[in-house]
Chain A
């Protein structure tokens, strides 16, 4: 059975009828049990659709994706050869200096993250963070130009959250966070100065991105300590 309203019932359920039409239809529903029943069914269909489960794939698709985007982890014992990609040194910091700075930075940030996770303001026995990420950083060439801006925006957001909430944190915690952020900022400034002399250098760009990522990680951990107001 159908009438002039049957084809409009979904629009009614979705709240898409004009006020005049809605009022007229609601008057019709008072006397038409068939349309009333259909409206009830349509609402149940909508609810059912919204509660459908989202079962993921039966197998892990990530290895195939990682392979296609060039992010497959190296084989055990494998060495990533960067020498063929390096251009001649044109910056004022040697690779060992940067590597040493990076290790020191990871120690500092790792210690702070450990401190933040454990709630202790004393990072004296902090474990050294893993030197190598789980997957080698892959430079996404298409996206790289805006990455620094996006990092800066992300860090500015987190720094603001931290600044707003610092009064709610233990003062010794705030002091340790700030000391380590200053160390990271110095490392970022070093890398940026080196890049001014050699903007296209892959190693320096990767080093800068990795340093910024560590700052983001640290900020994210710190900002998570700030209670939501």
Chain B
């Protein structure tokens, strides 16, 4: 999307030159159109929900998902169209999730003690009946390694962005990702 001037976004898709339906709905929603916001919700809830489920070992995924969309509604006025609406929404979702983690008392220490925890991740045993599902293996990663793995490999964020979001050094993000991948490679379907 292009900028016409401060705070005024155009809605043209960069590659196709056609109008981005999400951006139009975001504009409508920002003016109070709840139907437009519902369309945005229906489009983006699967990915947002997946992000929450993978980032939080929390029974309150539904509640967190609702918090994210309510926060998005409140913050729509700050969406200027510099990025796609989905990108804006997912960044907001990550912030809500990280705040939730802090509320749950999960501290940065998770990045320091995760090496030992990775050792406890059981290896995949042969035979389909004993196989650990890849998603289940992800859930058993230490919190820090799982966060970096989800943000980088599932959500597509770069290490620099992850480091900024999580308050880490870029090198720590890289090493956590490598450790997570090394643990998960044992749980690949062969």
List the interface of chain A (C-beta within 8 A of B): 7, 9-11, 16, 38, 41-42, 44-46, 48-50, 52-57, 59, 61-62, 64-66, 68-69, 71, 133-140, 142-147, 149-154, 156-158, 161, 206, 209, 212-213, 216, 220, 223, 228
Interface residues of chain B: helix, strand, loop or mixed (majority): helix
- List the A side residues contacting B93 at CB < 8 Å: none
A228 near B31: Cβ-Cβ < 8 Å: no
Inter-chain contact A149/B31, CB cutoff 8 Å: no
Expressed in whole angstroms, the Cα–Cα distance for A149 and B98 within the complex equals: 33
Bound CA–CA A53/B133 (angstroms): 13
B66 cross-chain contacts in A, Cβ below 8 A: 61, 64-65, 68
A137-B34 contact, Cβ under 8 Å, with A45-B185, A65-B69: yes
Distance (whole angstroms) from the CB of A104 to the closest CB of chain B = 21
* A50 near B154: Cβ-Cβ < 8 Å: yes
Decide: B19 and A140 in contact? CB cutoff 8 A. Answer: no
Residues of chain B in range 76-115 having any CB-CB distance to chain A below 8 Å? 76-77
> Quick check: B65 and A157 within 8 Å, CB to CB?
no
Q: CA A209 – CA B33 in complex, angstroms?
A: 9
Q: How far is the CB of B169 from chain A (nearest CB, A)?
A: 15
A144-B31, A149-B8, A216-B24 given. 7 additional CB < 8 A pairs? Answer: A61-B45, A62-B42, A135-B35, A137-B32, A150-B30, A161-B17, A220-B19
Chain B residues within 8 Å of A65, by CB: 41, 66, 69-70, 73
Chain B 113-125 interface 0/1 with A at a Cβ cutoff of 8 Å (1 = within): 0000000000000
B77 contacts which chain A residues (CB < 8 A)?
A: 140, 142-146
Classify chain B's interface size: 35 or more
A136 to B10 Cα, complex, angstroms: 26
Given A61-B66, A143-B76, A206-B32, A42-B185 contact (CB < 8 Å): yes
Other-chain residue from B33, B38, B178, B188 in contact with A48 (beta carbon distance below 8 A): B188
Closest residue of chain B to A44 (Cβ to Cβ) is B188
Contact indicator per residue, chain B 1-21, by CB within 8 Å of chain A (1) or not (0) = 000100111111000111101
**B181 interface contact, C-beta 8 A:** yes
- B contact residues around A135 at 8 Å (CB): 34-35, 38
Tell me whether A143 and B31 are in contact (CB under 8 A).
yes
| Pair A57/B30 contact, Cβ less than 8 Å | no
Alpha-carbon separation in the docked complex, A45 to B19 (Å): 35
**Interface assignment of B175: CB less than 8 Å from any CB of chain A:** yes
- When the two chains form the complex, which single residue of B12, B32, B149, B177 contacts A138, counting CB atoms closer than 8 Å? B32
Chain B residues numbered 165-190 whose CB sits less than 8 Å from any CB in chain A = 174-175, 177-178, 181-182, 184-185, 188
